[in-house]
Structure 1
């Protein structure tokens, strides 16, 4: 059994540093020369390269420790006790790490997708191992733990078809001509430049509510961007308000009386 000296410690550090840079060179070689031939996405390439690096560095450290005279068997008990403590402390980090790997392989959410998570409309700008970075319509950058995407419900507006249907509810007074309302709603929808001709806008007469007659106007747009959705809804409401006032159509509201 050899003694651990200052010289062996320096040799160990030099050994690890040299192989760290060799690992980086090897990862670069894999990324540019090997992985592109397999048609693997960038997300999965990232996972493969990161794990390759971790495994290589673990092997280097173990070999280095053994070479300087530190027997791995003597570290087993200590590592085991420390590992239990770390496992409890890093439970959330581990969960997010595993969730990130699942996301990268399943590819249900990708960079550039418009999604809704925890009632937040946003655009995905980066998917990392531990967290995902998104940008909201207010241009706010959010860092969301990856476990949110695995454990919760996520709406992906971009995953299949970029066309999105917008629902615009409208209420008018009881005595209003329902056909006139239908014609006005369709006119406002068809005149908007972002509304698609196919599928065509439709109006549904929902029935009589507590304070008036209820309609739903459904339009389709080709952009899942939430900022575009909100703008189209706002523009159509402005147009509806203008024509309602022109034709004398009243929008009812609840009145509060006093005893």
Structure 2
């Protein structure tokens, strides 16, 4: 029996495959599939029965468990086939060799593993922060996003340093390279450097946060994403625009969401000469007051602005939260004003001009 299991299919200095290796491999594959099936049926149900995780965290937990089981199965398969000497030879293969640094395939593999683990940790941290911040009323979407971004950048920065150290790169070389990079930035990559610094200022100081409504160069948009170099905003037309962070810091930006939630808007209208101005004032006031998006806690003002060429000009001022679609709000108030004007027989005039024809006294102006 021992001769049967020890029968060799292939033999070399680095690899020796026998019948026993093949049977062990088959058993490991069968066992891995069995464990995956058990994990899917039993553990999946237990997680849902506990009702501890939300859907995103549950999916991440289940996927991570499956990947760990598969990784253990792959390691077992490698050991069963006697591939360790071959793998050691592959991992020891030198890709880059200098006087101070030697990078092997194994170093690159370790770096990849570190980055994968970092990515999983970043996703897990995001889920945990989202779960915890959702219970706190003082944490808005912008603060949550800022905390996650800073944590993510710090985690990836730490992972890169650990990864570079693990492959044998001296930290002194990294610092020297960073110094040379900064010199290059100072000469040729100034705008990129400004964008990066501006991104850090936005994330740390928080003058603009995700979810804010801002106005840049007359364009009103909602901030959807803030990255280290650029920010992504969504216009009211449904278009995404990428804006360099230096533009948000170095130029004039109106943040409609900063400070108080209320903003003052107005609607202007002209009425016919001879109209009852007191009635016009009352109609405009109540049209603004009864709109559901207009604040009832702030004063509504109706102002008689001017005697126009063809009309008496009135403006009604009001406060509202709905700054993102203020044009729609103003339109709805105008519809209401027009309806009330018709009901109270108040007319909105159109421009009129008197034409005087002057002709010589000895000539009939109507003769040709």
Question: In which range does the TM-score fall when normalised by the shorter chain?
Answer: 0.7 to 0.9
TM-score of the pair, normalised by structure 2: 0.55
Contact 2:118 2:159 in 1 (8 A): yes
Contact 1:205 1:214 in 2 (8 A): yes
Structure 1 gap ranges (5+) = none
Cα distance in 1 for partners of 2:289, 2:232 equals 36
CA root-mean-square deviation: 3.9
Q: How does 1:182-197 map to 2 (within 5 A)?
A: 182-197=281-296
Aligned counterpart, 2:202: 103
Among residues 210, 217, 230, which one is paired with 2:327 in the alignment? 230
Aligned counterpart, 1:176: 275
- Size of the aligned set, in residue pairs, is 247
Among residues 260, 266, 275, which one is paired with 1:161 in the alignment? 260
RCO (CA 8 Å, sep 6+): is it higher in 1 or 2?
1
Cα distance in 1 for partners of 2:306, 2:280 equals 13
Seen in structure 2, the aligned counterparts of structure 1 residues 184 and 150 have a Cα distance that, compared at 3 Å, is: same
SS in 2 for 1:54: helix
Among residues 53, 70, 77, which one is paired with 2:156 in the alignment? 53
Q: CA deviation at 1:150?
A: 0.6
Q: CA deviation at 1:233?
A: 0.5
Q: CA deviation at 1:217?
A: 0.2
Aligned counterpart, 2:349: 251
- Residues 178-226 of structure 1: CA deviation (Å, up to 9, x unaligned): 21221221132233233232224220112324443222101222333x2
Contact 1:162 1:223 in 2 (8 A): no
From the CA coordinates, give the structure whose radius of gyration is larger: 2
Q: How does 1:1-259 map to 2 (within 5 A)?
A: 4=97, 8-21=103-116, 23-24=118-119, 41-58=144-161, 60-61=163-164, 64=167, 66=169, 72=173, 80=180, 84-85=183-184, 87-224=186-323, 226-227=324-325, 229-246=326-343, 247-253=345-351
Seen in structure 2, the aligned counterparts of structure 1 residues 184 and 65 have a Cα distance that, compared at 3 Å, is: same
Seen in structure 2, the aligned counterparts of structure 1 residues 146 and 176 have a Cα distance that, compared at 3 Å, is: same
Seen in structure 2, the aligned counterparts of structure 1 residues 57 and 251 have a Cα distance that, compared at 3 Å, is: same
Q: CA deviation at 1:167?
A: 0.8
Structure 2 gap ranges (5+) = 1-95, 133-138, 358-368
Seen in structure 2, the aligned counterparts of structure 1 residues 212 and 66 have a Cα distance that, compared at 3 Å, is: same
TM-score of the pair, normalised by structure 1: 0.74
- Residues 63-96 of structure 1: CA deviation (Å, up to 9, x unaligned): 74657xxx949xx69x84x765555443322222
